[in-house]
Amino acid sequence: MPDLEQHEIPFEERRFRNPRLRRGIFLIPSIFTVANLLCGYYAVVASQLGGSENFDHAARAIGFAILFDSLDGRLARLLKANTEFGVQFDSLADMVSFGIAPAVLAYAWGVRSLPGDGALAFHEIGQFGWICCLAFVICCAWRLARFNVQGMAPGGSKFFVGMPTPAAAGVIAALVHGFKQPLHDWRWSVAWFLLAAGLGALMTSTIRYSSFKDVPLTRKQPSLAIVLLCLIVGVIYVYSEYALVILACSYAAVGVGLHLVRFVRHRLVSRTA
């Protein structure tokens, strides 16, 4: 005779009644968080080694960290394995992979290959870069702490307040991966470090950036969308140096552009009111 109690319990609950299985389910998102942390640590080590190849490996590691970071959250929501421990663990991993790792990479890529003829100038560029990269790290920690306390932008989960830390790290990683060779001109180094500081400012700003969480990935998609997604993945795989730079910089620029449009529109409405 069938077990009537089992029929009354929803399938999702019956699936995780085994305590060991349930503990294993909760570990799956943490495994991806550990992979994220491992990529960040590897990026720091590769940046310290120097050289075009190691810098490119560090940039690729940050890119994989972004991928793992996006997967651990989605898996936690899909498996209903969200925990406060997981949230804090994820933030600490993000601090390493998207704060410390890109800052170390940006500093090493900007100063390691500068000519040492003018020792004083080289020292000043190094100090300037050190300060700008430190600002990036501080802003990353600020951004993560604010997100843990305040969450998404008011009105839903469609927008982040400030540039997400993976996106800011992605701009640095994409540019290093795209140009390969470290900087040899101090003027480019100054612009590079100003960019790092600017990305830090965007992380702590109130500019809204799309989270893409409203995209229904778990639902059935039209054939055209699947084909376009495959084409985008193919283009990124074959022309990663160009495609990743365009995607990362476009995401940063679109957020600023839409913010300026909203600001101007608000000013015009205030004047006509």
Q: Classify the C-alpha dihedral 175-176-181-184 as positive or negative.
A: positive
What pLDDT, on a 0 to 100 scale, did the predictor assign at position 23?
59
CA distance 67 to 163: 17
Helices and strands (H and E) in the chain: how many: 11, 2
When pLDDT is cut at 50, 70 and 90, the band that residue 232 belongs to is: confident
CA distance 210 to 217: 16
Contact 136, 201 (CB under 8 A): no
Q: Taking residues 75-79, what's their average pLDDT?
A: 76
Other CB atoms closer than 10 Å to residue 77's CB: what's the count?
13
Q: Which residues have C-beta within 8 Å of that of residue 48, sequence separation ≥ 6? A: 104, 108
Q: Taking residues 223-249, what's their average pLDDT?
A: 86
> What CATH code would you report for 4-272?
1.20.120.1760
**pLDDT digits 0-9 by tens, 146-170:** 988 887 665 556 788 889 999 999 9
CA distance 226 to 262: 32
Average pLDDT for the chain: 84
HSE value, Cβ hemisphere, 13 Å, CA-based, for 177: 27
What pLDDT, on a 0 to 100 scale, did the predictor assign at position 62?
97
The dihedral formed by the CA atoms of 256, 260, 261 and 262, expressed in degrees to the nearest 10: 100
- The type of residue at 235 is V
Q: Which residues have C-beta within 8 Å of that of residue 87, sequence separation ≥ 6? A: 148
Other CB atoms closer than 10 Å to residue 273's CB: what's the count?
5
When pLDDT is cut at 50, 70 and 90, the band that residue 238 belongs to is: confident
Look at residue 209 and give its three-state secondary structure. strand
User: Residue ranges per domain, the chain?
Assistant: 4-272
CA distance 194 to 15: 52
What pLDDT, on a 0 to 100 scale, did the predictor assign at position 87?
83
DSSP one-letter code for 161? E
CA distance 253 to 247: 10
